[in-house]
């Protein structure tokens, strides 16, 4: 089934609505803050699922001439936390396209995506047998995990995960693992994805506070504004973290939110 949503719809209520209607595919993306229109820009993802798997079409206005543009999934050029809407070049200046609505191709048949251990553990704690899991169970598990680990931006200022998980050669991951046996890289082909939060934690930043800025105590990937911090101060904190990770592991972290 193809569902079209306007870009200003809050994301989490939209996800829960699709589940109630019996349309499946977005349940792993529950409780991500933001709006429908922002989902394809970032190619948001969580717990083994990314928007690119269900995004059918994105409709936007080209601000250079006011025309309406329609982007297929392929034309969106989805990548890891990336899309054509984030890419800037001579042909596509920043903010050229304003997304107005998004179409999602969902399924009436539920196929659980349970590859992440956190979800499996949460379902076990909820006493939900794997063979009987429903989409609402997966969403509830994700909501519980995110509520414990991530601060609510309505309560304490944050932009969610601030850094992308770096992708490195397998040899680099294996070399790090020799010195840090608790590293759990995700291997695919000749590459490995390393948790940026793990790198930051190993550099001693988890829970550290500098003035009105800091790193969340429960999730090292989240930078927080305790109140009154400027954007420059948050960026200064981010740069200090990047420098430490580079010095300790030889890995450069890229910011996930767009910084202007």
Active site positions, annotated: 81, 161, 256
Give the whole-angstrom CA distance, residue 79 versus residue 68.
24
Task: State the maximum Cα–Cα separation within the chain, in Å, rounded to a whole number.
Answer: 55
For 117-146, the three-class secondary structure string (H helix, E strand, C coil) is HHHHHHHHHCCCCHHHCCHHHHHHHHHHHH
Give the whole-angstrom CA distance, residue 211 versus residue 191.
38
Residues 6 or more apart in contact with residue 81 via CB below 8 angstroms: 42, 43, 44, 45, 164, 256
Residues 6 or more apart in contact with residue 29 via CB below 8 angstroms: 11, 15, 44, 45, 46, 47, 49, 51, 142
Specify the residue for token string 């704690």: 125
Q: Which tokens hold the place of 45?
A: 């993802």
The residues with which 107 forms a beta bridge, in sequence order, are 24
59 within 8 A of 68, measured Cβ to Cβ: yes
């Amino acid at each position: 089934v193809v569902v079209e949503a306007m870009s200003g719809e809050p994301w989490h209520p939209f996800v829960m609505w699709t589940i109630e209607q019996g349309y499946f595919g977005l349940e792993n993306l529950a409780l991500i803050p933001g709006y429908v229109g922002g989902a394809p820009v970032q190619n948001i993802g969580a717990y083994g699922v990314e928007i690119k798997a269900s995004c059918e079409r994105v409709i936007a206005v080209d601000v250079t001439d006011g025309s309406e543009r329609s982007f297929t999934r392929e034309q969106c050029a989805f990548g890891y936390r990336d899309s054509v809407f984030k890419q800037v070049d001579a042909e596509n200046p920043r903010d050229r396209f304003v997304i107005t609505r998004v179409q999602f191709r969902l399924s009436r048949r539920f196929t659980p995506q349970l590859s992440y251990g956190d979800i499996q553990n949460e379902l076990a704690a909820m006493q939900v047998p794997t063979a009987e899991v429903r989409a609402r169970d997966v969403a509830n598990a994700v909501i519980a995990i995110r509520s414990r680990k991530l601060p609510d931006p309505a309560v304490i200022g944050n932009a969610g995960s601030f850094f992308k998980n770096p992708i490195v050669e397998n040899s680099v991951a294996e070399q790090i693992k020799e010195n840090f046996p608790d590293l759990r890289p995700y291997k695919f082909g000749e590459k490995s994805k390393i948790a940026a939060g793990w790198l930051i934690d190993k550099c001693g930043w988890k829970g550290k506070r500098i003035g009105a800025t800091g790193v969340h105590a429960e999730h090292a990937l989240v930078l927080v504004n305790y109140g009154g911090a400027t954007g420059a101060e948050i960026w200064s904190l981010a740069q200090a973290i990047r420098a430490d990770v580079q010095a300790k592991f030889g890995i450069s972290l890229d910011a996930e939110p767009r910084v202007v």
